[in-house]
Amino acid sequence: MLDYIKGEITELTPASVIIETGGVGYLAHISLNTYSALSGLKTCKLFVYEAIREDAHQLFGFVEKRERELFLHLISVSGVGANTARMVLSSIAVYELEGIIASGNANALKAVKGIGNKTAERIIIDLKDKVKISGTATSAQTSVSSEIAREAISALTMLGFNQLASQKVVNKIYAEKPALSVEEIIKNALKML
């Protein structure tokens, strides 16, 4: 089984990346969190999960091992496939998802497209003992500065939204989910504006 691929990024989209190494291009399906981390890079090391089915061989790529571990936990839950797990990891940051599972917050999981009430509860029941919040979760949240919020407000203003309205929405999102990236804050704000 493959553990990681290290090479040159030849193509990057929000859903996939092609990494060339040794003259071979590997296509890996990625989450939006991984996409944000890879944006602007020429080379990378991508931790992978190889899904082999009767009709397809797929690679799923992750910038950090922690995201891959959470992906593996998610697909171990009955009714959660690889694409649903990728959707969850695209919608919720890794450290935030660990907190949601540990606290038993099924409502936060239901906000993800494709996750219903039963699936959200099953994820929490199955993974509550497997997923632990570490000290890294708090340090990751505190390292996020208000600069991210300012960038998001600036981007929304450039898109033509009222600055006061943008500031109010971004501050609300940032207060609730301080671990989000600029792109994630903007995505959430666009839904609310």
Kindly report, residue by residue over 14-57, the tens digit of the pLDDT: 999 999 999 999 999 999 889 988 988 999 999 999 998 889 89
Q: What would the pLDDT profile of 136-158 be if each residue is shown by its tens digit? A: 443 333 333 457 777 888 788 77
Q: Please give the pLDDT value at position 137.
A: 41
pLDDT value for 146: 58
* Strands 24-29 vs 57-62: parallel, antiparallel or unpaired: parallel
Residue 5 has pLDDT above 50, yes or no: yes
53 and 103 in a common domain: no
Q: Which CATH number does the domain housing residue 12 bear?
A: 2.40.50.140
CB-neighbour burial class of residue 23 (10 A; exposed 0-12, middle 13-18, buried 19+): exposed
Pick the more confident residue, 21 or 91: 21
Cα-based angle 107, 111, 114 (whole degrees, multiple of 5)? 115
Task: Write down the pLDDT at residue 140.
Answer: 38
Contact partners, residue 170, CB within 8 Å, separation at least 6: 149, 152, 153, 156, 185, 189
Contact (Cβ atoms closer than 8 angstroms) between residue 82 and residue 60? yes
- Quote the pLDDT of residue 73: 94
The gap from C-alpha 163 to its chain's centroid, in whole angstroms, comes to 27
104: CATH: 1.10.150.20
Are 94 and 74 in the same domain? yes
100 lies in which domain range?
Answer: 66-136
pLDDT bin (cut points 50, 70, 90) of residue 71 is very high
Of 47, 62, 77, the position where a domain reaches its end is: 62
Rounded Cα gap, residues 167 and 80, in angstroms: 36
Same domain, 73 and 126: yes
Do 90 and 58 share a structural domain? no
* Domains held by the chain: number: 3
- Is the pLDDT assigned to residue 1 strictly greater than 50? yes
Pick 109 or 147 by higher pLDDT: 109
SS3 120: helix
Please measure the distance between the N-terminal and C-terminal CA atoms of the chain and give it in whole angstroms: 45
pLDDT band at 130 (very low <50, low <70, confident <90, very high): confident
